[in-house]
Amino acid sequence: MDNREEVREFLTSRRAKITPEQAGLPAGPRRRVPGLRRSEVAALADMSVEYYAKLERGNLAGVSPSVLEALARALQLDDAERAHLLNLAQAADGSDVLNRPRRRRTKDQWRPHRSLQWTLDAITAGPAFVRNGRMDILAANPLARAFYGDVYATPGNQANLARFNFLDPASRRFYPDWDLFADVAVAILRTEAGRNPHDKDLHDLVGELSTRSEEFRTRWGAHNVRHHGTGTKRFHHSAVGELTLAFEGLEMAAEPGLTLTIYTAEPGSPSEEGLRLLASWAATQNSDSPSTTENAGR
C-alpha cells in the first residue's frame, strides 16, 4: 500500500470530519470544503500552513513525535486514530520494519501451541477464538466452531470473518446489525494495514473484497480505524436463534498481532441458555469429527 496516499487520505478524511464549531472556531461565510480548512488545522497545531500542507500531501518521514501529537490534538483524533497516525509515520520512516518482531501470522504457517488450544478448550461457557489482524480465525474452542459454523462452511472462505461478512449472504442473517459489523470489520482491517503495511496476504484480501463488494469498497475509502476490545453484539444462529453476547478481546503478549476473543452471555439470560443449547448441539455434531487442534487453523 502506498504510504503517502494512505497518509494523505487519512489526514484529509479526519480534517473533513471536524466542524469549525467543534474546533472552537467561527464558521464564517462561503466555506467551500467540509470540515476545517488546512489553514485552520495548521493554526490549531501551531505550525505553518506550508508545513501542514506538506504533511497532508503524505510526507510523514522524519516528523517528530511532538508534531504528530500536535496534529492529533488539532484533528481531535481518538486513541485508535492516534495509534494509526503513529503507525503511518513509522512506515514512512521504515521503522516499522526495523522495530517490530517477525510475524508468523499466515494460516498456512501458524499453528496454536498445545497449551493455547488447551486454554481455549477449557473455556466451555462461551465461544473463544484467536484471530489475526486480517480477521482469520486461527484457533478456536468447540463452541466457537459451532458458533461460527457458517463461516467455516462457506466454500473458499478459509475461516475469514471479513470475507464472510461481505461475500456470504448468510452473514446478513447471522449479523442482525449487519452494517455495524461491516463497519467494524473494515476498521479492523484498516488498522492492521497501518500497523503492518507490508502484509501481502492483507493486500490480497483487501483487493479481493474491494473488487467483489461495493459495500466494502465504500467503507474502505472512509479510512476509519478503531480499537475493538470490548462490547456487546447481537447474533442470529441457525441452530439456537437470537443471541446477545458480551465480548472481550485480549491482545496476546506472547504473539504480537493476535487477539484472543471470548464471548459470554449475561447469567440467567435467554442467551446463556442459547449457548448451553449450542454447546450440546456442537457436542453431537463433533462427536466423530477430527480433533479441534487439527482443525482450528484450517
List the CATH number of the domain containing 16.
Answer: 1.10.260.40
Q: What is the CATH number of the domain that holds 242?
A: 3.30.450.180
Predicted local distance difference test score (pLDDT) of residue 285: 73
Nearest Cα to 83, choosing from 69, 62, 95? 69
User: pLDDT tens digit string along 228-275?
Assistant: 889 999 999 999 999 999 999 999 988 888 999 999 999 999 999 999
219 and 90 in a single domain? The answer is no
User: Does some domain include residue 104?
Assistant: no
198 and 67 in a single domain? The answer is no
User: Does some domain include residue 107?
Assistant: no
Q: Which three cell numbers stand for residue 210?
A: 474491494
CB 35 within 8 A of CB 17: yes
What is the extent of the structural domain holding 169?
A: 114-295
Round to whole Å and give the CA distance between 91 and 44: 25
132 and 90 in a single domain? The answer is no
Q: Residue holding cell 479481493?
A: 208
241 and 140 in a single domain? The answer is yes
Q: How many domains is the chain partitioned into structurally?
A: 2
User: Does some domain include residue 108?
Assistant: no
Q: Which three cell numbers stand for residue 195?
A: 500497523
Round to whole Å and give the CA distance between 233 and 174: 11
Please identify, among 50, 68, 99, the residue that sits at the C-terminal boundary of a domain: 99
190 and 48 in a single domain? The answer is no
17 and 89 in a single domain? The answer is yes
15 and 81 in a single domain? The answer is yes
Q: Are strands 241-251 and 259-264 parallel, antiparallel or unpaired?
A: antiparallel
**Count of CB atoms within 10 A of residue 269's CB?**
13
**Count of CB atoms within 10 A of residue 153's CB?**
12
Residue 175 makes CB contacts below 8 A (sequence gap 6+) with 165, 181, 234, 235, 236
Amino acid type, 100: R
67 and 155 in a single domain? The answer is no
User: Does some domain include residue 109?
Assistant: no
Please identify, among 67, 99, 131, the residue that sits at the C-terminal boundary of a domain: 99
User: pLDDT tens digit string along 11-33?
Assistant: 999 999 999 999 999 877 777 77
pTM of structure: 0.85
178 and 252 in a single domain? The answer is yes
Nearest Cα to 132, choosing from 155, 156, 111, 154? 111
26 and 124 in a single domain? The answer is no
Report the chain (298 residues): mean pLDDT per 10 consecutive residues.
Answer: 90 94 85 87 97 96 95 96 95 63 51 84 95 95 96 88 97 98 97 92 96 97 91 96 97 89 97 96 68 41
What phi, psi does 251 have (nearest 5°)? -70, 135
